[in-house]
Structure 1
Amino acid sequence: MNTDFMDALEQIEREKGIAKEILIEAIEAALISGYKRNFNSAQNVRVDVNRHTGLVKVYARKTVVEDPTDPRLEISLDAAEQIDPGFQIGDIAEIEVTPRDFGRIAAQTAKQVVTQRIREAERGLIYTAFVDREHDIVTGIVQRQDSRFYYVDLGKVEAVMPLNEVMPTEKFKHNDRVKAYITKVEKTTKGPQVMVSRTHPGLLKRLFELEVPEIYEGVVELKSVAREAGYRSKIAVFSRNEDVDPVGACVGPRGMRVQTIVNELKGEKIDIVKWSEDPVELVANSLSPSKVVSVDVDEENKVARVVVPDYQLSLAIGKEGQNARLAAKLTGWKIDIKSESQANGTSSDEQVRDAAYEVQE
């Protein structure tokens, strides 16, 4: 190694942010292994790299003793005093043992160490950049698909999106641009691994934060999200400002804000309801778009018994129970839905059996 190499280390320090001293220490450690491997040495050695010239020297470290039994590890006091008269029993004497052709080995080892450290540093920077974006939205380009994943290019890293994290209503092709939600960032031996999802409720939440300034500014708060990805979702919103309608803010002028999100989610239906601390009002709102006659709550067991008009029962329950199921997820309450005639006991047993619906979160 020479002064040009040391200048290169300084340039790496400026461009990559890896301290020159850390690189040199790593090179010295690697050269110790290289020396022992290439020269079949079992002795204790120290490698020194001159910080200015790049000159490499190898020193054997031997303990000063009266009567050496292993010349590879020990040296007599008389021999040590010839090196430095100040040596005493128990001191460590260093003797230069640099091989003549060690420069070639040193150069190869140094190159490998620097390349590895640069790669590790870049992976560390990528990990740091993306771990801070966990639970956020990213936009990437679909590169390929295998039996388990879509691989999405995010620029500095390739994210993986499991097939079960893709909405059942969509399929991607090579070079498709896609927005996804970062669910997890992990360190692996091959570098940082970023996991993304299109089905996570967090995606819906982040999309509303992007489209609705009132949510981004904190005036409107998105309290709860329930989602059956690709089909239907419900969100409950609350306004900190009495003059701001939280539902209207999310819907936007002529429905433009929510429609933008619906388009991004490939037509997923979104119900926006007003949040309330009162469980009666919250449960009633959560069953939108159906009307509710009454709500009776059992707070100890978190059960809400809801009565709806006869003609609204199927709407309240929804297709295959979807509306009631999402309402239960949104509120955290177990919901028992009955029609007025069922509640009054005026419907037939067959009607009760066919229409009564109970759902739990």
Structure 2
Amino acid sequence: MNLEFIDALEQLEKEKGVSKDILIDTIEAALVSAYKRNFGSCQNVRTEIDRENGEVKVYSQKRVVENDDVYDDFLEIAIDEAREINKNYELEDMVEFEVTPKNFGRIAAQTAKQVVVQRIREAERDVIYSEFINRETEIVTGIVARVSKGIVYISLGKIEGVLNQTEQIPGETYEVGQRIKSYILEVKKTTKGPQILLSRSHPGLIKRLFELEVPEIYDGVVQIKSISREAGSRTKMAVHSIDENVDSIGACVGAKGSRVKNIVDELKEEKIDIIKYSENPAEFISSALSPSKVISVDLVEEEKSAKVIVPDYQLSLAIGKEGQNARLAAKLTNWKIDIKSESQANN
């Protein structure tokens, strides 16, 4: 512990943003434990590091008690003895004696190194946490680093993100070295550092992918009003243009379907229905049931439910395989939808 050590702390403060004073305070606390571990734990001691030259001193602290009340020489000192040192001492005051061991420099240096390494690690973790906490709900590109027990670990540079099984696209396989886009679901602070939880199944991934591909969405001219998704199978997305000269669906699809194709490719051929949003619930529900044609929509406002009539030959299309089309339309519009064929309605 010397002037070079203080210089090194100042350099760390500049490079890593770790406060020199906080480091020294932490080292002083660690040195108390080191002293007690090596020279007796029954004492009250404090350590002090000179901020200018790095010199370390250890002080034993004794409480001033009545002359006949000294039961532990390590912790207490009689008032008469204390006043021989300084006549101003009173009962319950603390008297300090320097007890720095001759070989304490080596122990101090080793302890300081451990503290500094730990604080640097914590500072780097804090930097990573600060970077990613501001990116929650954003999209991130990483490389599959490893797959273990169904969990995919994705390298994001200085840290790995975690793609749990529940957040993976059903049926999708992941190969080491594969470049992949994911949605930052949550950033947690843990004792082992920040944990970045990723998702490939969240509807937010669709939104962010379209923002990347469609300048009109990124600029706010075309708005994504709602998304319903069954990852790996089908997504419905309702869009609206605030500029009557911009076709919201056309902007999302792109020339010859190029924009939506890039997203479908990223999602391994997941089907995406892009629907025009309407403030009119009947129109919106009718569009949401695409690709099925709709004859009529009868709204029950107080129940927020809709009775939909479709042509007989379109009933299975409107409902979809295992009810998927109707289910996604209901999620998209936030209305309960009851679908009947024309002949069923007339009976």
* TM-score bracket, shorter-length normalisation: over 0.9
Partner Cα separation in structure 2 for residue 26 and residue 63 of structure 1: 25
1:123 equivalent to 2:125? Answer: yes
Which stretch of the first structure deviates more once superposed, 53-62 or 163-172?
A: 163-172
Report the RMSD for the aligned CA atoms in angstroms. 1.4
Which stretch of the first structure deviates more once superposed, 241-250 or 153-162?
A: 241-250
Q: Deviations over 1:28-51 (max 9, x none)?
A: 001111111111131211100011
Q: CA deviation at 1:19?
A: 0.3
| Other-structure match for 1:349 | none
Partner Cα separation in structure 1 for residue 260 and residue 177 of structure 2: 26
Counterpart of 2:217 (choices 211, 215, 218) is 215
Partner Cα separation in structure 2 for residue 82 and residue 254 of structure 1: 97
| Other-structure match for 1:174 | 176
Unmatched runs of 5 consecutive residues or more in structure 1: 346-361
Question: How do residues 125-274 of structure 1 correspond to structure 2 at under 5 angstroms?
Answer: 125-274=127-276
Which stretch of the first structure deviates more once superposed, 251-260 or 99-108?
A: 251-260
SS of residue paired to 1:244: coil
Q: CA deviation at 1:344?
A: 1.7
Instruction: Calculate percent identity across the aligned residue pairs.
Output: 63
Partner Cα separation in structure 2 for residue 310 and residue 159 of structure 1: 49
Q: Deviations over 1:94-126 (max 9, x none)?
A: 110111111111111111111111111111111
Number of residue pairs the alignment of both structures matches:
345
| Other-structure match for 1:39 | 39
- 8 Å Cα contact 1:169/1:266 also seen in 2: no
Q: Structure 1's 41 and 268: CA in aligned 2 closer, same or farther, altered over 3 A?
A: closer
Q: Deviations over 1:238-260 (max 9, x none)?
A: 22223322212211222221111
Which stretch of the first structure deviates more once superposed, 306-315 or 24-33?
A: 306-315
Q: Deviations over 1:252-302 (max 9, x none)?
A: 222221111111111111111111222111100101111111000111112
Q: Deviations over 1:223-243 (max 9, x none)?
A: 111111111110011222233
Q: CA deviation at 1:63?
A: 2.1
Partner Cα separation in structure 1 for residue 105 and residue 123 of structure 2: 26
1:18 equivalent to 2:18? Answer: yes
SS of residue paired to 2:232: coil
| Other-structure match for 1:356 | none
* Letter of the structure 1 residue corresponding to residue 304 of structure 2: K
Unmatched runs of 5 consecutive residues or more in structure 2: none
| Other-structure match for 2:286 | 284
Partner Cα separation in structure 1 for residue 192 and residue 150 of structure 2: 19
Which stretch of the first structure deviates more once superposed, 248-257 or 30-39?
A: 248-257
Partner Cα separation in structure 2 for residue 169 and residue 254 of structure 1: 28
